[in-house]
Chains A and B, each alone.
Chain A
Amino acid sequence: MHDMRFAIPRQDINREDFASSIPDFNRKSEIMKTDKGYKCIITNIVRLTEQEKLFRLRIIDTRERNIFRFRPGQFLMLELPGYGDVPISISSSNSNHEFLELCIRKAGHVTSALFSVVEGTHVAIRGPFGSAFPMDEMTGNNVLLIAGGLGIAPLRAPLFWINEHRDRFFNVHMLYGAKDPEQLLFTYQFNEWKMINHITLHTIVEHSTAGWQGKTGIITDLFNDISFDQKMTYAIVCGPPVMFKFVCSYLDKAGIPMNRMFVSLERRMHCGMGKCCRCMVGSTFTCVDGPVFDYWSVMNLKEAI
């Protein structure tokens, strides 16, 4: 009789049996970062426009709040239990450990549900995931920040970084375009950016409405207003896919090297960990290798923008 001896014991999954390559990782910490979310409380909700709201989140657990660090450009997965999770870029300063700000557009299933929650709701965040803008590399140069529409949300994190280290940069231009004046986000901060942080801000709208004092046109029109030394200028571009093409090819013609232009791509990520392949562009994962790419990498990716 070959009785119980042949039963395979329930195994401790950390123990090696035959798989040749065993991942070397501290399971608990990884689980904290990936599958289990940090529980947050929504402390403040600001309605910016008809479609966008700014959520202010605070991680409840003190220890978790202290270990949560991110770099400008990274994103997190925001989870509303029962509805799902969505990738949202962080648009607050990375030196602020007290709260996170997320600018969210009502676009899909989860974000629609988010629009109906009230202050004090508990949500979960996982992350941060992805690559970041190389802010240190840009030190000592001019910076062009070019945003279209909701593209200003991921640009706010590097903008905060620049504002906090303003002495490390020369001229900082911010070009911001939107469909119409009502769609302009963070208008209440424009004066602060201009006056206190000495950022040259140019805004433009496609369709002007009554009372609009500024320019009308598309974002590339703003390039006529500014001049920059292409040898020492970095550009950060974020916006709808069609904007990348025009803006980046303009900057390319203007002489900014491709590896000094950074774009933040958008895909629908389901895991954030490079496993579900939903955000794959060619052989590149937007969630692990991106969302921040230099333009050279983007040019080498087929169907990226």
Chain B
Amino acid sequence: MIYKIISKAEFKKFIDALVRDNTSFGPRRVDTDCRGEKVYQFLQVASFNDIAFDYTATASSAKHFFLPFCEELSRFVFHDQDWDQHITYETNPIVLIGLRACDISAINILDDVLLNGNFPSPYYLGKRKNTFVIGMDHLPLPDCFCKSMNHHTVQTGFNIFCSDIGEEYYLAVNSSKAFNFLKEFNTRDPLDEDNCRLVARRKLISNSFLSEVDVTGLPSILDIEFDSPVWEKWGNKCLNCGTCAMVCPTCYCYAVEESFETNLKGATRQKRLYSCNLVNFAEVAGGHNFRPKNGDRLKYRYYHQHRGFAENDNQQICVGCNRCGRACLTKINPKDVINDLRMEKESCMICASPSPDRT
């Protein structure tokens, strides 16, 4: 990694030049929600001024550039009594500007899931490889808990990461392509005082977290608490709408559907993002549903995010952005669910130790 300092005026020129010649996406304000807060989304941008660099967090995550809601896997063309299958992995290069550290961490987790193992996904790889990522640090929202998940900083998975140190940006340059682009602009090597300002900035971010979730030993707590009444309690609130999985930066479960084209000359095989909270997620042919109750499905979501993944890949899949908590119609918040679960065990009547105060 190479570190550079760039002034904000020069950074604007850099972004403008990059945006002009590439299909670029950045945070833009789209609406105001019922609480009067601004709603941001990643949308296509045409110049520096389109980008809301002071945004808090986007409502949906950046995963949709890699995992679209609906993606064509293959196409069948019918002729006579036969058919041919066509697959294309081609994608157009895009630039993503202004991703937060947790968003980039989420993409790194998706890399682990989708590019490792026996069957790496070429669809995802094509998109990932053709994406130029510019990260941007930020002060956390009151309900962010990325620090608890250790995703408030990020080391890899971006081309450039910008830290705001007053009048300048402290750039971490992580690819040769990004370095070559930057050569055209006035940058300088960081001095001691710049490093100090960066450390101060990081400390400020780290100390600004108001929400905390204790996730130590969570996988085993989830194991012990498999039949906990907590699941039923939160499950009864759940509406099975699947919003949490749609906004989650790491949820990648999907369904494969096939449909004929209306002229009956072809058929497409599509992948659609799905949610484990939807009723028929675990339904098998014949109608048997392996997770018939709301609580079962909600539990499964937490299991996958915090335990199953921890077992397979040695990390929890949740990055702590709390998009699901913000988007949930019935205010199911991962922080509350996890704390509730922990309390359930720690305040149980059999245990000798008194329960700690609820935060």
The reply to whether A283 and B311 contact each other, CB–CB distance below 8 Å, is yes
Q: Is B288 an interface residue (CB 8 A)?
A: yes
Q: Among the listed A13, A35, A107, A276, which residue makes an inter-chain contact with B253, where contact means beta carbons less than 8 Å apart?
A: A276
The reply to whether B81 and A283 contact each other, CB–CB distance below 8 Å, is no
Q: Among the listed B20, B119, B125, which residue makes an inter-chain contact with A13, where contact means beta carbons less than 8 Å apart?
A: B125
Residue in chain A with minimal CB distance to B226 = A302
Q: Which stretch from A79-87, A171-179, A219-227, A255-263 is at the chain B interface? A: A79-87
* Chain A residues, Cβ within 8 Å of B22: 6-8
The reply to whether A30 and B93 contact each other, CB–CB distance below 8 Å, is no
* Chain A residues, Cβ within 8 Å of B281: 278
* Chain B residues, Cβ within 8 Å of A36: 74, 85, 87
Q: Among the listed A6, A15, A27, A268, which residue makes an inter-chain contact with B283, where contact means beta carbons less than 8 Å apart?
A: A268
Residue in chain B with minimal CB distance to A86 = B285
The reply to whether B184 and A2 contact each other, CB–CB distance below 8 Å, is yes
Q: Is A66 an interface residue (CB 8 A)?
A: no
Q: Please report the total number of A residues contacting B with Cβ < 8 Å.
A: 62
* Chain A residues, Cβ within 8 Å of B267: 81-82
* Chain A residues, Cβ within 8 Å of B158: 18
Q: Which of A36, A85, A282 has the most CB of B within 10 A?
A: A282
* Chain A residues, Cβ within 8 Å of B308: 280, 282-284
Q: Among the listed A4, A18, A83, A120, which residue makes an inter-chain contact with B174, where contact means beta carbons less than 8 Å apart?
A: A18
Q: Is A202 an interface residue (CB 8 A)?
A: no
- Least CB distance from A198 to B in Å reads 35
Residue in chain B with minimal CB distance to A108 = B285
In Å, the complex CA distance between A37 and B93 comes to 28
Q: Is B156 an interface residue (CB 8 A)?
A: yes
Q: Among the listed A3, A268, A275, which residue makes an inter-chain contact with B21, where contact means beta carbons less than 8 Å apart?
A: A3
Contact pattern, B 70-112, Cβ under 8 Å of A = 1, otherwise 0: 0001101010011101010100110100000000000000011
Chain B binding surface, main DSSP class: mixed
In Å, the complex CA distance between A15 and B257 comes to 31
The reply to whether B258 and A81 contact each other, CB–CB distance below 8 Å, is yes
The reply to whether A288 and B93 contact each other, CB–CB distance below 8 Å, is no
Query: Are A34 and B119 also in contact (CB < 8 A) when A6-B20, A84-B258 are?
Result: yes
The reply to whether B175 and A18 contact each other, CB–CB distance below 8 Å, is yes
Q: Is B279 an interface residue (CB 8 A)?
A: no
Q: Is A23 an interface residue (CB 8 A)?
A: yes
Q: Is A277 an interface residue (CB 8 A)?
A: yes
Q: Please report the total number of B residues contacting A with Cβ < 8 Å.
A: 81
* Chain B residues, Cβ within 8 Å of A215: none
Q: Which stretch from B49-57, B126-134, B198-206, B326-334 is at the chain A interface? A: B126-134
In Å, the complex CA distance between A5 and B20 comes to 11
The reply to whether B83 and A122 contact each other, CB–CB distance below 8 Å, is yes
Task: Tell me which residues from 187 to 235 in chain B have a Cβ below 8 Å from any Cβ of chain A.
Answer: 223, 226
Q: Is B2 an interface residue (CB 8 A)?
A: no
Q: Is A274 an interface residue (CB 8 A)?
A: yes
In Å, the complex CA distance between A7 and B269 comes to 32
* Chain B residues, Cβ within 8 Å of A96: none
The reply to whether B286 and A108 contact each other, CB–CB distance below 8 Å, is yes
* Chain A residues, Cβ within 8 Å of B85: 36-37, 39, 81, 124
Chain A binding surface, main DSSP class: loop
Q: Is B237 an interface residue (CB 8 A)?
A: no
In Å, the complex CA distance between A20 and B159 comes to 11
* Chain B residues, Cβ within 8 Å of A105: 285-286
Q: Is B114 an interface residue (CB 8 A)?
A: yes
Q: Is A188 an interface residue (CB 8 A)?
A: no
Q: Is A10 an interface residue (CB 8 A)?
A: yes
The reply to whether A267 and B92 contact each other, CB–CB distance below 8 Å, is no
The reply to whether B285 and A4 contact each other, CB–CB distance below 8 Å, is no
Q: Is A116 an interface residue (CB 8 A)?
A: no
Q: Is A9 an interface residue (CB 8 A)?
A: yes
Q: Is A205 an interface residue (CB 8 A)?
A: no
The reply to whether B129 and A11 contact each other, CB–CB distance below 8 Å, is yes
In Å, the complex CA distance between A34 and B103 comes to 29
In Å, the complex CA distance between A111 and B283 comes to 15
Q: Among the listed B73, B111, B177, B254, which residue makes an inter-chain contact with A35, where contact means beta carbons less than 8 Å apart?
A: B73
Task: Tell me which residues from 269 to 299 in chain B have a Cβ below 8 Å from any Cβ of chain A.
Answer: 269, 271, 274, 276, 281-286, 288, 290-291, 296
Contact pattern, A 24-63, Cβ under 8 Å of B = 1, otherwise 0: 0101001100111101000000000000000000000000
* Chain B residues, Cβ within 8 Å of A267: 282, 284, 290
- Least CB distance from B334 to A in Å reads 18
Known: A18-B175, A276-B253, A280-B300. 4 other contacts (CB 8 A): A8-B130, A17-B177, A120-B81, A276-B274
30 A-B Cβ contacts within 8 A?
Answer: A2-B20, A2-B21, A3-B21, A6-B20, A6-B22, A8-B22, A8-B95, A10-B93, A13-B130, A17-B129, A19-B128, A21-B115, A21-B116, A23-B120, A36-B85, A82-B260, A85-B269, A108-B285, A122-B81, A122-B83, A267-B282, A268-B283, A268-B285, A271-B256, A276-B256, A277-B253, A278-B281, A280-B304, A283-B309, A288-B117
The 4 closest A-B pairs by CB, nearest first: A283-B308, A273-B119, A82-B267, A107-B285
Contacts from A to B (Cβ < 8 Å): 2-11, 13, 15, 17-23, 25, 27, 30-31, 34-37, 39, 79, 81-86, 105, 107-108, 111, 120-122, 124, 241, 266-268, 270-271, 273-278, 280, 282-284, 288, 302-303
Contacts from B to A (Cβ < 8 Å): 17-18, 20-22, 73-74, 76, 78, 81-83, 85, 87, 89, 92-93, 95, 111-122, 125-126, 128-130, 132, 156-159, 174-177, 181, 184, 223, 226, 252-260, 267, 269, 271, 274, 276, 281-286, 288, 290-291, 296, 300, 303-304, 307-312
